[in-house]
Amino acid sequence: MTFSIVISTYNRLDLLKRAIASALNQTVPCEVVVADDASTDGTEAYLHSLGDQVVYHRNGQNLNHAGTVNAGVAAASGDWVKLLDDDDYLAPNCIEAMDQAIACHPQAVICSCQAAQVDINGAELRRTATPGPGVMFYIPQSAIHYGMLLDRVPFGTPVQVAFHRQAFLKTGGWDTTMTTNYDDIDAWIRLAEHGDALFLNQCLAYRTVWPGGHEQKMSLQNRLALNITIKQRIHQRVGPTYQTQCPSMQDLSDYLHLHWGLVALRQKQLGAALPMILPAVLNRAAWRLLYQARQLRSSPAAGELIPKQVIG
């Protein structure tokens, strides 16, 4: 099994250098691909200076994040691809740990680990929650979409995820019509049609939280609309085993209205909160889904509605 680390970048040369260093310093050899979305800050010259240490692809024009990820994967040759945004970086043993885990469960097409969220200076702020039992576990393909629908399958952001390259190509790649905040989730939905999901209870990656990050630039109204779109895409893929247990799309939509409306209230955005909450306020099923989601955050064991099989 071979791995390619695919780094997507646009005009963040200083941060990109850190990401590349973390890729080149892995404890096992792997291909490092940098996909450059037509940067104008000296990125091209720097990448050429690295010679054959990296595979460099430069877009002829700006394609945005999803298009750049697709170009990077197309330039890669590994059996598996580990994605990396230019402002994030990997632990030295990330690829080695993922490689060993995948060898224990070759039916997997997507693999996720824990990540530390850090500030721009690298100081740790928090870590993503332990997603399940044991050192590593898998979720069978038949249960993944139902789990995603109810927020029980936390794949996380690209820095946490690796995937089988051929499975990725079967999906057609990332949807270039999706915004950067949600193009990754949409990709995990489609990848999960092709095999099992593998999870490592190890912190192997570092995600930078800072004002220049994409997640800081979207309104709550847009987040709500995109969350509903994502839930619709998951809902239509839930397998027959779980279809009778699925909440309706209307209840899911109302639950999201309540969730984002309460977020708006916490942020003192009353003008945004009321139009979100009012259409859903009388839906008991939506309030129940909201309660279950809150319960899951405070007690991850409450989320064991799907099989999580410990490996080893």
- Predicted confidence at residue 298, as pLDDT, reads 62
155, pLDDT greater than 70? yes
pLDDT band at 218 (very low <50, low <70, confident <90, very high): confident
pLDDT band at 175 (very low <50, low <70, confident <90, very high): very high
Average pLDDT over residues 247-263: 97
**Exposed/middle/buried for 172, CB within 10 Å: 0-12, 13-18, 19+?**
exposed
More confident residue, 302 or 100: 100
Average pLDDT, the chain: 92
More confident residue, 146 or 300: 146
In this structure, is the dihedral angle defined by the CA atoms of residues 239, 243, 246 and 247, taken in order, positive or negative?
Answer: positive
Return d(Cα 191, Cα 193) in angstroms, integer.
5
More confident residue, 172 or 154: 172
pLDDT band at 184 (very low <50, low <70, confident <90, very high): very high
- Predicted confidence at residue 70, as pLDDT, reads 97
Q: Where are the domains of the chain?
A: 218-300
Among residues 309, 311, 297, 302, the alpha carbon closest in space to that of 128 is found at 297
- Predicted confidence at residue 230, as pLDDT, reads 95
40, pLDDT greater than 90? yes
pLDDT band at 301 (very low <50, low <70, confident <90, very high): low
- Predicted confidence at residue 300, as pLDDT, reads 55
Q: What end-to-end distance do the CA atoms of the chain give, in Å?
A: 20
SS3 content of the chain, % helix, strand, coil (to 5): 45, 20, 35
Average pLDDT over residues 24-32: 97
Across 60-180, where does the E strand assignment appear?
80-85, 89-90, 108-118, 124-127, 136-139, 161-164
Residue 285 DSSP SS3 = helix
